Amino acid sequence: MVELREDFTIVVVTHNMQQAARVSDRTAFFTARPDETTGNRTGLLVEFDLTSKIFSNPGDQRTEDYISGRFG
């Protein structure tokens, strides 16, 4: 992956935060929001930033809660 990223954009989807922190330049955190009337869940982009910022000083409390293990 390290060699390929020199020439390509690579998107990795993982729940493994150590892997995300190790191999990515940028990280996006998504969650799901239930519809109040139907209960159907819709994906929601919570935060997107440099990986170093996401893991050291996220801008959204939901991101902080997830990476610190408070939910998920």
pLDDT digits (tens, 9 = 90+) for 13-45: 988 889 888 889 999 999 999 999 998 999 999
Q: Which pTM was predicted?
A: 0.81
pLDDT of 23:
87
The answer to whether residue 72 sits within a structural domain is no
Instruction: Give the domain range for residue 57.
Output: 4-67
The mean pLDDT of 63-68, rounded to a whole number, is 93
* 32 to 14, 18, 24, 41, 62: CA distances (angstroms): 15, 22, 22, 6, 12
In this prediction, residue 72 has a pLDDT band, given cuts at 50, 70 and 90, of: low
User: Residue 20's pLDDT is what?
Assistant: 87
Looking at the domain assignment, is residue 11 inside a domain?
yes
Number of structural domains in the chain: 1
Is residue 55 assigned to a domain? yes
